């Protein structure tokens, strides 16, 4: 599964870790995160994330 970078703050969403504090279980692909989820660091939406190669 791909990792995704929050462009404004540099947070990286790693599907192996998820975002437990945000209700996202480990093993959850970025594409499967609800659309209303926001970056746990700066609060921007999923549309501000880009796939990390």
CB 15 within 8 A of CB 4: no
CB 4 within 8 A of CB 51: yes
Count other C-beta atoms under 10 Å from residue 13's C-beta: 25
Residue 6 marked ligand-binding = yes
The pLDDT assigned to 24 comes to 98
The pLDDT assigned to 53 comes to 84
CATH topology of domain 2-49: Rubrerythrin, domain 2 (2.20.28)
Six-digit token string for 41: 């660091």
Indicate the domain borders of the chain: 2-49
- Mean pLDDT for each consecutive 10-residue tract of the chain (53 residues)? 97 98 97 97 98 93
Annotate 4-27 with DSSP letters as a single string: EEETTT--EE-TTT-BGGGTB-TT
Residue 39 marked ligand-binding = yes
């Amino acid at each position: 599964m791909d990792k995704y970078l929050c462009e404004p703050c540099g947070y990286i969403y790693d599907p192996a870790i998820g975002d437990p504090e945000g209700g996202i279980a480990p093993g959850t692909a970025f594409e499967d995160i609800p659309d209303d989820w926001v970056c746990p660091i700066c609060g921007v939406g999923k549309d501000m994330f880009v796939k990390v190669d």
